[in-house]
Amino acid sequence: MILIAGGTLVLGLIGTFAYFKFSGHKEEASAEAAPHGKEETSKEHGNVGVPGAMFDLDPFIVNLSDVPESRYLKLTVKLELDRPDIAAELSARIPQVRDTILILTTNGERELPQAFLRRCVALTLDAPTEDWFVSIANQKFGADADSLHREVAREVMRHRAAAKKARFRQPSTSEYLDALDVCRDLGIDTSSSVWTDVARSVLWKNDRPPELETVASQS
């Protein structure tokens, strides 16, 4: 479900990018050339409500995860063009379109053009909490093991605090669910003798030992 949503988001952003990138400058030129007081005809912009010409990109693979993990998504992109006449220009700029998709789907930090950012919607997500992690686990595995879900969620919060202090990447939902999978497969919990090794390899993922502090549990 997450991958599908991610793919849909990418397609929406790429469609927006392509529209403004390849048709925006032509619209500006048309507006300058048109006599003042003369309305644009519907023929110039196509019929409202009628689907535009479709432009298919060859499928390709993107990696959605940080190293050393690999979480791949195969993208098949179809762009709806506002005007068929920009298809030739778009064909000549396929590398730029693919680069934009890679920028939007990778974790590296990059500077995006302001013209593109002005047309994006910023969505700020609240930091995850212990209860939030538990609710995710209960939906995925069922509430029968709620106590285990909460124990591991508490450990994730401790490791998140340590990672933030050390300026490391904080464990997320993916690491939390991976830790639960290990606990379920091995039949262990956070009081087991091997839990420290599990947490270091699944949650922490750094050579330097974490400086863990006690995090008060949420009711």
Percent of the chain with pLDDT over 90: 36
More confident residue, 102 or 11: 102
Burial class (CB in 10 A: 0-12, 13-18, 19+), 106: middle
- Alpha-carbon dihedral of residues 181, 186, 191, 194, nearest 10 degrees? -110
Q: Is 26 helix (H, G, I), strand (E, B) or coil?
A: helix
- Is the separation of the CB atoms in 86 and 55 below 8 Å? no
Terminal C-alpha separation, the chain: 29
pLDDT in tens, 67-87: 556 677 788 888 888 888 888
Per-domain boundaries in the chain: 2-117, 130-204
Cβ of 90: how many Cβ atoms within 10 Å? 18
pTM strictly above 0.75:
no
